[in-house]
Amino acid sequence: MPTLPKLQDIIQASQRIKNYAHHTPILTSSWFNEQTGGEIYFKCENFQKVGAFKFRGACNAILRLSKDDGQKGIITHSSGNHAQAVALASKRCGYKATIVMPENAPTIKVNAVRDYGAEIVFCDPTIESREETAERIIRETGATFIHPYNHPDVIAGQGTCALELLSEIPDLELIIAPVGGGGLISGTAIAAKKIKPGIKVIAAEPELADDAWRSFHSGSIEPVLRTDTVADGLRTSLGTLTFEAIQKYVDDIVTVSDESIIRNMKHVWERLKIIIEPSCAVPVAAIMDQKINITGKKTGIILTGGNVDLDTLPWSIIDIERV
């Protein structure tokens, strides 16, 4: 049975990936500080390799493989940032990556993964077909499957982001990150609580995909019930490991509306002049809507990624003035 990584695993992951991943910058904004009364430090994983924190976890997991295992190949199923992360990390290690994708995946995402040199195997757009296809390839090739979040090395890799944040801003009182499958919030919470037991770690989630909130309160893993939130990186349910980490180390989970996610995504573009994807705006929405009171608090927010189709921006689809 895999177990949760310890702080030591996260520190080792940080050493392991440091020549592969970016040490991303931290930005501040007097406008957001004035609006919320807090002192906010935005950790910019949108500037990470492949444009998302996912590279940290995939890179750590792949670097931990033996050369023999690596040479049998790496496999995952995803059409999001994890697919690009596995593709690039495999390429950088000289291994072959196979990504299983539904045949209806957007061309823009297929091309992004192909550009990083991975082989794409299409399947029917069902979970069963995706898993069967991956299992068949693993049987045939001996490739190693890298789960997008329910994997100790992936969680340890994602935790390196909080490590950087706390090494630069050691007196943070609160860290907020979004929760989807839970890999990032798990790594963040383990790192933060082990370094600084008094710190608060809060997860933010879309109302339309509030499975982590429900799981946190019911005490068992609840499935995500719909997949239409604009925060497309957060449409997944928790795994056994990430649920355990959340139960042990996360102080609270709050939910925000899609309208607020879009409005605050636009605020970040306008005020910080950086491109973030909708999932990143979930913690920002949580502080702007006062779902989390950060008045007077040094607060770290992890901006998770910046992969957006610039031709279909959410505010040009939904009229946010009506919200």
CB of 307 to its own copies, least distance (A): 9
Q: Is 311 in the site for its own copies (CB under 8 A)?
A: yes
Stretch that binds its own copies, among 148-156, 242-250, 289-297, 311-319 (CB under 8 A): 311-319
Nearest to 64 by CA among 133, 183, 134, 155: 155
* 3-class DSSP assignment, residue 19: coil
Of the candidate residues 32, 41, 42, 47, the single one contacting its own copies (CB under 8 A):
47
Task: Give residue 12's identity as a one-letter amino acid code.
Answer: Q
Of the listed pieces 9-17, 45-53, 137-145, 227-235, which binds its own copies according to CB under 8 A?
A: 45-53
Among 274, 297, 298, 318, binds its own copies (CB under 8 A): 274
For residue 31, the minimal CB distance to its own copies (Å) is 10
Contact between 181 and 146 under an 8 Å Cβ cutoff? The reply is: no
Residues 6+ apart with CB under 8 A from 283: 176, 177, 178, 204, 301, 302
How far, in Å, CA of 186 to CA of 275, rounded? 25
Site string for its own copies, 4-43 (x = CB under 8 A): ---------------------x-x----------------
Q: How many residues bind its own copies (CB under 8 A)?
A: 18
Report, in Å, the least distance between residue 158 CB and its own copies.
19
Q: Minimal CA–CA distance to 305: which of 207, 117, 99, 158?
A: 158
Reduce the DSSP state of residue 185 to 3 states and report it.
Answer: helix
Q: Which is nearer to its own copies, 46 or 299 (CB)?
A: 46
Nearest Cα residue to 8 out of 191, 201, 200, 248: 191
Residue 73 tokens read as 């190949």
Residue among 11, 138, 195, 313 that touches its own copies (CB under 8 A): 313
Options 10, 32, 43, 51; binder of its own copies; rule CB under 8 A: 51
Between the CA of residue 74 and those of 82, 105, 247, 286, what are the distances in Å? 13, 20, 31, 37
- Of 78-86, 118-126, 198-206, 308-316, the window that binds its own copies (rule: CB under 8 A) is 308-316
Dihedrals phi, psi of 205, to nearest 5 degrees: -145, 150
Contact between 107 and its own copies per CB under 8 A:
no
CB of 274 to its own copies, least distance (A): 5
In the complex, the residues that contact its own copies under the rule CB under 8 A are: 25, 27, 46-47, 51, 266, 269-270, 273-276, 306, 310-311, 313, 315-316
